[in-house]
Amino acid sequence: MVLCVVCAAVASAQTVEWERTPIAVTLAVGVERQVRFEGPATVGVPAGLLETGALRAEFANDTAYWLATEPFGKRRFKVRLERTGEFVLFDVTAVPGAGGAGETLEVVVARPEQGGASSAPNADDLRGDLVELVRHAARLDLAPPRLAAPPAGTVPVETAATDVTALYCGADPARLRLAVVGQLARAGLFVTTFEASNLTGAPLELDVRRLRPEAGPRTGTAGGIVAVGWTRSTLAAAGEAGFTARFYVVTRAPFDLAADSR
């Protein structure tokens, strides 16, 4: 089986290290900015910004979402990392049309180096994690679980979703069906396996770039699609060999939450 994987904006984040000096963050008015942490966190923002509507602040999974609706001067935000109890401080400013102010920030905590290697995660680590997770999901389609040893830390995750044909933009339910097969999680990533079935009497060509609801998850958000793996993109006519295919959709949140993101 040939397995293809395409990543969506995995390397678009800027990594910044917390070293007891407040991290400067510039928000562009009207542009939502994501700030990712190494796990769950509690975000404290100045109440005045929320009360006046100058700032919209949300948190999901391991990511904060900050959207300024009007300019404001430097304000101190305090974030508590739940796993360690440590606080990370930010000096946040909102200005009109700031270049680069929509880029995602990946915040890591500076720790003593061991063996000369940095502990900060990078885009290559993330790609490696998601590719390994997708490969394991694909192996489960070919062999019983007892013969497909999972990568360390991989766990099954229940999902209530069944028919997800609407995930494919513009899908005609009379021509195509997408059904959930299962879901796995590892290292803060979730891979959900879909089976695509051609319901017509002619071959059907699929475009993986259309695997997201038109009003649904945005690429790069907590609920957005991080990567998609697939076994084939051309489905044979219904009933013929090859009329189904498996798709492996990677998100940063459980699929049930990701599918409901707006």
> DSSP letter string over 9-26?
STT-PEEEEESSSPEEEE
What is the model's pLDDT at position 207? 85
| Residue among 227, 246, 232, 249 nearest 138 (CA) | 246
What is the model's pLDDT at position 13? 60
What is the model's pLDDT at position 129? 75
Whole-angstrom Cα distance, residue 50 to residue 228? 36
Whole-angstrom Cα distance, residue 195 to residue 212? 15
What is the model's pLDDT at position 181? 92
What is the model's pLDDT at position 3? 57
Sequence-distant (≥ 6) Cβ neighbours of residue 181 within 8 angstroms: 141, 193, 194, 195, 246
What is the model's pLDDT at position 1? 52
What is the model's pLDDT at position 11? 39
Enter the DSSP assignment of 222. Answer: T
Whole-angstrom Cα distance, residue 69 to residue 102? 14
Three-state DSSP class for 121?
coil
What is the model's pLDDT at position 239? 92
What is the model's pLDDT at position 140? 82
Number of CB atoms found within 10 A of residue 249's CB: 29
What is the model's pLDDT at position 176? 95
What is the model's pLDDT at position 6? 53
| Residue among 249, 96, 245 nearest 182 (CA) | 249
- Could you tell me the end-to-end alpha-carbon distance of the chain, in angstroms, rounded to an integer? 35
What is the model's pLDDT at position 92? 93
What is the model's pLDDT at position 109? 81
What is the model's pLDDT at position 134? 85
Domain ranges of the chain: 20-109, 122-258
Q: What is the DSSP pairing of strand 4-7 with strand 225-230? A: antiparallel
What is the model's pLDDT at position 59? 85
Per-10-residue mean pLDDT for the chain, 262 residues long? 52 73 91 87 88 89 88 93 85 79 78 46 61 84 69 85 88 93 87 94 88 48 68 90 91 77 43
Can you name the residues that pair with 88 across neighbouring β-strands?
79
What is the model's pLDDT at position 254? 84
What is the model's pLDDT at position 117? 43
Which fold would CATH assign to domain 122-258?
Answer: Immunoglobulin-like (2.60.40)
| Cα atoms in the 13 Å half-sphere on the side-chain side of 243 | 14
Q: CATH classification of 20-109 is 2.60.40.10, yes or no?
A: yes
Same CATH topology for 20-109 and 122-258?
A: yes
Using CA atoms, how far residue 223 sits from 139, 213, 233, in Å, is 25, 12, 24
